[in-house]
Structure 1
């Protein structure tokens, strides 16, 4: 199996540096998700790996080979784009086989491999159609088959599900994860959707402004965010963040705070509204989502907090409540850098 390593990779457009000395690795057979907001540099990572953009510093290794100076066709990667990039005048079979035929693979062999790839992703019944006759989900399967047929060392997936409606996106998300597990392939999947990242990934790399903010398993990213940026970006609603010395009731074993500027972070599920000696707060609004409700609160000192509560026991708007925070589920961050505080 093949892996991917970026060592100190930077990339620039004109005078703007987009990637800043990125160190990142996808282990052999791993599904690595690169997560971040628009402009974080996610797609640029893929384009540098594929050879579509040059690295201004650093090296790129694929399957143990230094490919930094190789043109795209020699890197043995396959890329699935957000737009699918299918040829409208070619049939599905011809689209899938196209990359093989331009590499002088005999047509019969190329068509046989195209059919096998189509069967793997569930679009073998579409081989005679053209892209204009396909739904979004069907086009996505064809794009995956076209990437699969080349038997690459690394699959690069650039927001491949973002053009699908919610129901189909959830379905294709599950199919993509199942496909990865069957193939045991190395995949790098770019998305801005934190739910997609948490569901799909073996590990997640969170990017911010062209820098790697944190790399870890979905559980590590969720439970131990390395910075306030990760804490805010992963989670909906986002993690609550307050000055650590804010007058909010801390329940459980709450040790003394160190004498330095810190922020405390806690997810909505760590907030209790039945603390006997809790901090006074007013309910601004309540959002009900199935069995859960999110209460948006303003503390007496003016800080805003979101609490997750059972919908059946939700407070009313403008109700006065008392707020507590389970300290065992809280996180401390340096107020100046935003990085996680380690005692």
Structure 2
């Protein structure tokens, strides 16, 4: 028996005549929390809509819990979807909203209400059952939406940017609760977001989408430490990974054939792989500090190197250099990457 809770095999889909997904292969293990990450227009929400049956495929196959559901209408796929907008009925109470999907499927009202109460307890909104959506905060509405999805006991939960309408503090709280809910339930979840921090914190694995195709799939650590392409290196990380022509300001130690070709290679390294030294030290490359941004205990120094190359370094805020000063810059070579400039694909380390 397949261990996949969800599988997309060669799936393509179009919107208003334009193809928005291109031969997507994606497999989510049973009980896994996969985050689909990418910029606007990458096709993230279309992936969820295809799985839910809200958008037809033009090619490929969709399987849920080992069943081919490609041709099935949404109601027969046994998935639950949580939307960015919550999509609650304003005239119904919380209890009625949670139970609604069961009652329209002819589950007896008493059983539906009992399951709704249990789902509300699981997500922490049991004290709200008699209220209506207009009486709830954003976080409370999100809990109700999660309970409504949970009560159906689906094979797959589909979450479409469910935290994006919350303020920052509540987003942090809710993503921790969402992760804890997943771990308690052992449920198969696909969570869509454009927020890289959300993806890195929540996911068992991340699928990075670009222009309707899968750019990379991996654990959060793999996505962060070994980005498969220049696109992933730039998209994941704030500030983004530094990218310079290989053979430019920095020369890797020893024999490094992957970095030796100069103009057709790019050297990448994150701000934390950069070390700053006193300008009198005989190390590294001289650079001018253009500006410094302080973020709590950390600071980001924006530097200009010989040839006009720009680099960002992460340093302790207490030891940050001043704007306009000169520093010496070195790179921790164990944490560098080499990319092919033409294709953007990662070739290895320097």
Q: Please give the TM-score of this superposition, normalised by the length of structure 2.
A: 0.95
Which of 27, 35, 42 does residue 25 from structure 1 map onto?
Answer: 27
Quick one: distance in 2 between partners of 1:271 and 1:265? 11
1:265-276 map, 5 Å: 265-274=268-277, 276=282
Quick one: distance in 1 between partners of 2:286 and 2:222? 32
Which of 158, 176, 179 does residue 178 from structure 2 map onto?
Answer: 176
Contact 1:2 1:186 in 2 (8 A): no
Quick one: distance in 1 between partners of 2:28 and 2:265? 33
Give CA deviations for 1:283-313 in whole Å, capped at 9, x if unaligned.
Answer: 0000111111100001121011000011111
Which of 102, 114, 123 does residue 121 from structure 1 map onto?
Answer: 123
Quick one: distance in 1 between partners of 2:331 and 2:208? 27
SS at match of 1:114: helix
Give CA deviations for 1:158-198 in whole Å, capped at 9, x if unaligned.
Answer: 00000000000000000000000000000000000000000
Q: Does 1:241 align with 2:243?
A: yes
SS at match of 1:89: coil
Contact 1:253 1:327 in 2 (8 A): no
Segments of 5+ residues of structure 2 without an aligned counterpart are none
Contact 1:30 1:185 in 2 (8 A): yes
Which of 101, 113, 128 does residue 103 from structure 2 map onto?
Answer: 101
Residue of structure 2 in register with 1:37 after alignment: 39
1:147-296 map, 5 Å: 147-248=149-250, 250=252, 255-256=256-257, 257-259=259-261, 261-274=264-277, 276-296=282-302
Residue of structure 1 in register with 2:85 after alignment: 83
Give CA deviations for 1:217-266 in whole Å, capped at 9, x if unaligned.
Answer: 0000000000000001111110000111112255x667353436110100
Give CA deviations for 1:114-159 in whole Å, capped at 9, x if unaligned.
Answer: 0000000000000000000000000000000000000000000000
Q: Does 1:307 align with 2:313?
A: yes
Segments of 5+ residues of structure 1 without an aligned counterpart are none
Q: How many residues align?
A: 342
Contact 1:76 1:152 in 2 (8 A): yes
4+ residue runs over 2 A deviation: 252-260
Quick one: distance in 1 between partners of 2:205 and 2:230? 19
Contact 2:247 2:261 in 1 (8 A): no
After superposition, the CA RMSD in angstroms is 1.3
